[in-house]
Amino acid sequence: MEQPNLSYIHSMSGGDKDFEQKLINIVNEEFPQEKEIYYANIAAKNYKLTADNVHKLKHKISILGLEKSYETAVAFENNLLEGRTTLQEEFESILTTMTNYLQQL
């Protein structure tokens, strides 16, 4: 599985370390809340709201340089809109990988 990285953040910042830290702080603040809401909605089988949650989370996936995982999130979001949970396990594995990475920053 691909690993999160800060290459996208570095490319956006132009070397501005304060900007990089602000972006990392935003991700660290928003990600746990968005993830918690995702898990609540998937457990309630509210797939439309879950698709909205995945839509928000995929931006964090992109920011952390997870290109293949982003594609998985797009496919999972589309599945949810069709009332299917195909790719749920893969998506949740991505969330776990991101959680572990963010805890190390």
The answer to whether residue 63 is domain-embedded is yes
The answer to whether residue 4 is domain-embedded is no
The answer to whether residue 67 is domain-embedded is yes
The answer to whether residue 2 is domain-embedded is no
Note whether 100 and 3 are within 8 A (CB): no
Write out the two tokens for 82: 């069709």
Q: Which residues contact 46 (CB under 8 A, 6 or more apart)?
A: none
pTM: 0.94
pLDDT band at 94 (very low <50, low <70, confident <90, very high): very high
Q: Measured between alpha carbons, how far is residue 23 from residues 8, 16, 34, 68, 93 in Å? A: 11, 11, 16, 21, 23
The answer to whether residue 10 is domain-embedded is no
The answer to whether residue 35 is domain-embedded is yes
In tens, the pLDDT along 53-70 reads: 999 999 999 999 999 999
Write out the two tokens for 98: 């991101």
The answer to whether residue 9 is domain-embedded is no
The answer to whether residue 38 is domain-embedded is yes
DSSP per-residue letters across 73-105: HHHHHHHHHTT--TTHHHHHHHHHHHHHHHHH-
Q: How far apart are CA 1 and CA 22, in angstroms?
A: 27
Q: Could you give the number of structural domains in the chain?
A: 1
What domain range includes position 44?
16-104
In tens, the pLDDT along 12-39 reads: 999 999 999 999 999 999 999 999 999 9
